[in-house]
Chain A
Amino acid sequence: MRAVITVIGTDKIGIIAGVSTILAEAGVNILDITQTTMQELFTMIMLVDISKAVVSFEHLSGRLSAKGDEMGLKIKIQHEDIFKSMHEI
Chain B
Amino acid sequence: MISPREILETINMISNENLDIRTVTLGISLRDCVHPDIEIASRQVYEKITRIACDLVKTGEEIERDFGIPIINKRIAVTPISIIGESSRGDMAQIALAMDRAAAELGVNFIGGYGALVHKGYTEGDRRLILSIPEVLARTKHVCASVNIATTKAGINMDAVAQMGFIIKQTAELTAESSSIGCAKLVVFANAPEDNPFMAGAFHGIGEPECVINVGVSGPGVVHSALKKLSPEADFSQVAELIKKTAFKITRMGQLVANEASRRLGIPFGVVDLSLAPTPVIGDSVAHILEQMGLEKCGTHGTTAALALLNDAVKKGGIMASSHVGGLSGAFIPVSEDAGMIDAVRCGALSLDKLEAMTCVCSVGLDMIPVPGDTSEHTISAIIADEAAIGVTNNKTTAVRIIPVQGKKAGDPVEFGGLLGGGVVMPVSNYSSSIFAQRGGRIPAPIHSLRN
Contact residues in B for A87 (Cβ distance below 8 Å)? 2-3, 6, 9-10, 249
Interface residues on B, range: 20 to 34
| Binary interface encoding of chain B residues 6-40 relative to chain A, with 1 for a CB under 8 A from any of its CBs, else 0 | 11111100000000000000000000000000000
- Flag whether A82 is at the interface (Cβ < 8 A): yes
Which residues of the other chain, A, contact B256 by a CB distance below 8 angstroms?
81-82, 85-86
Given contacts A6-B11, A32-B1, A76-B11, contact A82 B6 (CB under 8 A): no
Q: Once the chains bind, are B252 and A4 in contact (CB under 8 Å)? A: no
Asked if B68 is at the interface (CB within 8 A of a chain A CB), the reply is yes
Looking at the complex, which one of A57, A77, A81, A83 makes contact with B7 (CB distance below 8 Å)? A83
Q: Name, among B69, B252, B253, the residue most crowded by chain A CB atoms within 10 Å (CB to CB).
A: B252
Tell me which of B3, B8, B69 contacts A82 (CB under 8 A): B69
A67 within 8 A of partner (CB): no
In the complex, chain A residues whose CB is within 8 Å of the CB of B66:
57, 78-79
Contacts of A78 in B (CB 8 A): 66-68
Q: Which residues of B contact A61 (CB under 8 A)?
A: 65
Interface residue? B418 (CB, 8 A): no
Decide if the interface of chain B is mainly helix, strand, loop or mixed.
helix
B4, B7, B65, B252: most-surrounded residue (chain A CB, <10 A): B7
Determine which of A32, A38, A47, A82 lies in contact with B10 in the assembled complex, contact meaning CB atoms within 8 Å. A82
Residue of B with least CB distance to A58: B65
Contact of B252 among A6, A45, A85 (CB under 8 A): A85
Query: Complex formed: what's the CA distance from A78 to B69 in Å?
Result: 9
A38 vs chain B, min Cβ distance (A):
6
Provide the bound-state CA to CA distance between A10 and B448, in Å.
63
Once A79-B67, A82-B69, A87-B10 are accepted as A-B contacts, the answer to whether A45 and B4 lie under 8 Å apart by CB is yes
Query: Chain A, interface size: which category?
Result: 20 to 34
User: How far, in angstroms, from A34 to B3 measured CA to CA in the complex?
Assistant: 9
Give the distance in Å from the alpha carbon of A28 to the alpha carbon of B451 in the complex: 60
Return B16 CB to nearest CB of chain A, in Å: 11
What residue of chain A has the Cβ atom nearest to residue B61's Cβ?
A58
Which residues of A lie under 8 Å from residue B3 when comparing CB positions?
87
Give residues of chain A (47-89) contacting chain B, Cβ–Cβ below 8 Å: 47, 57-58, 61, 76-88
Q: Which of A47, A80, A82 has the most CB of B within 10 A?
A: A82
Complex Cα gap A85–B251 (Å): 10
B17 to A: closest C-beta gap in Å: 13
Are the CB atoms of A43 and B8 closer together than 8 Å? yes
Contact mask for chain B residues 231-264; partner A; CB cutoff 8 A; 1 contact, 0 none: 0000000000000000001001101100000000
Q: Is the CB of B4 within 8 A of A36?
A: yes
The residue in chain A whose Cβ has the minimal distance to the Cβ of B19 is A86
Query: Bound complex: CA of A30 vs CA of B69, how far in Å?
Result: 23
B2 touches which of A43, A76, A88 (Cβ 8 Å): A88
Complex CA gap A58/B10 in Å reads 21
List, in ascending order, chain B residues with CB within 8 A of A38's CB: 8
Q: Which of B1, B65, B69 contacts A47 (CB 8 A)?
A: B1
A residues within 8 A CB of B4? 34, 36, 43, 45
Per-position 1/0 for A30-47, Cβ under 8 A of B: 001010101000010101
Kindly supply a per-residue 1/0 record for chain B positions 299-319, scoring 1 wherever the CB is within 8 Å of any chain A CB and 0 otherwise.
000000000000000000000
Interface residues of B in 58-106 (CB under 8 A from A): 65-69
Q: Are A4 and B65 in contact (CB under 8 A)?
A: no
Q: Which of A1-38 contact B (CB under 8 A)?
A: 4, 6, 8, 32, 34, 36, 38
Chain A residue with the shortest CB-CB distance to B11: A6
- In the complex, how many angstroms separate the beta carbon of A39 from the nearest chain B beta carbon? 10
A35–chain B nearest beta-carbon distance, Å:
9
Contact between chains at B65 and A83 (CB < 8 Å): no
Bound CA–CA A45/B3 (angstroms): 10
Q: A44: nearest residue on chain B (CB-CB)?
A: B4
Q: Is the CB of B1 within 8 A of A82?
A: no
Which residue of B is nearest A47, CB measured?
B1
Chain A contacts of B68 at CB under 8 A? 76-79, 82
**18 additional contacts (CB under 8 A) given A58-B65, A76-B11, A79-B67:** A4-B2, A32-B1, A45-B4, A45-B7, A45-B8, A57-B65, A77-B68, A79-B68, A81-B67, A82-B69, A82-B256, A83-B2, A85-B255, A85-B256, A86-B10, A86-B252, A87-B9, A88-B2
Nearest 5 A/B pairs, CB to CB: A78-B68, A85-B256, A82-B67, A87-B6, A83-B2
10 contacts between A and B (CB under 8 A): A32-B1, A45-B7, A45-B8, A47-B1, A79-B68, A81-B256, A82-B67, A82-B69, A85-B252, A86-B253
Residues of B within 8 A of A (CB): 1-4, 6-11, 65-69, 249, 252-253, 255-256
